[in-house]
Structure formats: C-alpha cells, structure tokens
Amino acid sequence: MEMNEKLLKEKLIAGDEEKLEVSYFLTMREEEGKTSYGIEIQRRYLEPGHEPLEIREIQDVTCDREQAEEILCCLSRNTVTPCGLEDALDVILGGDVM
C-alpha cells in the first residue's frame, strides 16, 4: 500500500485577530494494482511554526482522479473546513461517505 499526498488548493481566511489558512490535499492510495483517491483538509494559523489546528482525511472517495480534483475545487470554492468535510462529501456525492 502506498500513500501519496498532493496539495491542490489553499485558501486564506481572515479571523478576528489572526489569519487562518485552509489547505486542500488530494491523497492517493494504491492497493492490489488499483488506485483510489481521497481528500484531506487542514486548517492552521498562517504564521510559520504552527501545527495544524484541525485535520480531516477521508480515503477512497473515488477511483477517478478527475472527479477527485473536481471535488477538491468544489470544497475549496465553498471554503469547507475539516469539520465539514464528511457532510460536504455526502452532499456532493449524494450518499453516505463513511
């Protein structure tokens, strides 16, 4: 099993006092000759040296890379944060993701 991660989108969010960054990652897993794609979202303070405040990853969302990238664009456009990833995927894919 191999896991690769590729950053596709970043978005800045201006908070009350500090700026936050939300990063959207495409993850890839190869198993038994088949490739599946997942989504990871991280939310962190923009200043260097801060660990992520929140991370959520869902694996095996689709076997179609183009569809996975379209989903990432939709999540980024709507500024979905890690805590909303599961619900957003449920709406986008029209069913349970877990």
The two three-digit tokens of residue 82, written as one number: 């890690």
The domains of the chain are located at: 2-93
pTM of this structure: 0.81
**What is the Cα–Cα distance from 26 to 71, expressed in whole angstroms?**
10
Give, in order, the Cα–Cα distances in Å from 12 to each of 7, 15, 17, 62, 66. Answer: 15, 9, 13, 27, 25
pLDDT per residue of the chain (98 residues) written in tens, 0 to 9 = 556 566 666 776 666 667 888 889 999 999 899 999 999 999 988 777 778 889 999 999 999 999 999 999 999 989 899 999 999 999 999 865 54
